[in-house]
Amino acid sequence: MKSNTTVAAAKPVVTPKPASSKPAAPKKAEPKSAPAPKPEVKALVPATAVAAAKPKPAAEPKPQKYAKATMSIPNASPDTDTDNETTQDFRKTLKQEKSKLKHLTVADLRYDQSDIYFSHNWKSKDLMAIPERAWWQKRASIFADAMHIVSVHGDTEIRMVIGDYNGPGTYSIKKATVVSRSDDLDADELESGQIKVESDNGRWISGSFHFAVSDGNGRQLAFDHGAFRLSTKDQLPRF
């Protein structure tokens, strides 16, 4: 007769592993996290300063304005009566424009050379447009020292004489002559005249003058608004 008891299965025996002789590896230190950066504080810049810092666009150049001519220049070679009338009108207008110009004084004259200026009524000549050589000279005598002012313009010579010269002062002109070979003119009849010498250092003189002369044949010349700054003749440049 079989027994009903059941024999329990035997459990496997677990053999323990020998402990490792190697020491346990040390734990690595965890890196510390860097501190969070501080927020950057920017200086408050006013809006006006920002606007000023921006470069302004270059301004466009404005068109240049020129003064309009007050008179037109006519045809240089008139062939008709109309052109002749236009030329006469032009000359009249030009004369009026010249009369408006400021007359020169001693302060306006050159300081680096002997210089003279005047206006006159000589219609056939424009003496101021002709390069001049002008000087002064003193002529001594027993009774008085005469002073001559000479201005040469082309073939025209103007001479004024002070009879008794004693340095700066106002003098009546003793004698004046205007001679021009091209105009067949020899005017030496003095009608009136005066010279004012403002400075005299022995080599240079300066001042003002005016006078009128005639040639005895009805031709009368007047010289006004005269100004001079003259050296002696030996100081003139050599040519």
Q: What is the pLDDT of residues 129-145, one digit of tens each?
A: 888 899 999 988 877 88
Domain assignment present for 199: yes
Q: Return the structure tokens found at 54.
A: 């921006």
Q: Return the structure tokens found at 205.
A: 């003189």
Calculate the alpha carbon distances from 135 to 174, 230, 231, 233 in Å. 18, 5, 5, 5
Selected residue with higher pLDDT from 10 and 200: 200
Domain assignment present for 88: no
The answer, yes or no, to whether residue 1 has pLDDT greater than 90, is no
Domain assignment present for 16: no
Selected residue with higher pLDDT from 2 and 15: 15
For residue 157, the one-letter residue type is E
Strand-pair partners of 205:
200, 230
Domain assignment present for 6: no
Domain assignment present for 224: yes
CB 156 within 8 A of CB 178: yes
Domain assignment present for 111: yes
The answer, yes or no, to whether residue 239 has pLDDT greater than 90, is no
Selected residue with higher pLDDT from 64 and 166: 166
Domain assignment present for 130: yes
Selected residue with higher pLDDT from 77 and 145: 145
Closest to 228 (Cα-Cα) out of 98, 118, 137: 118
**Owning domain of residue 212:** 106-235
CA distance 180 to 150: 14
- How many other β-carbons are positioned within 10 Å of the β-carbon of residue 205? 25
143-172 tens-digit pLDDT: 788 999 999 999 999 999 999 999 999 999
Task: Output the pLDDT for position 143.
Answer: 79
- How many other β-carbons are positioned within 10 Å of the β-carbon of residue 165? 23
Strand-pair partners of 133:
152
Instruction: Order the strands of the 169-172 sheet from edge to edge.
Output: 115-120, 220-231, 204-214, 189-200, 169-172
CB 115 within 8 A of CB 136: no
Mean pLDDT: which of 73-77, 121-125, 177-181, 216-220 is highest? 177-181
Handedness of CA 126, 128, 129, 135 (dihedral sign): positive
CB 228 within 8 A of CB 199: no
* Domain count along the chain: 1
- How many other β-carbons are positioned within 10 Å of the β-carbon of residue 136? 27
Half-sphere exposure of 143 (CA within 13 A, CB side): 2
CB 98 within 8 A of CB 212: no
CB 176 within 8 A of CB 186: no
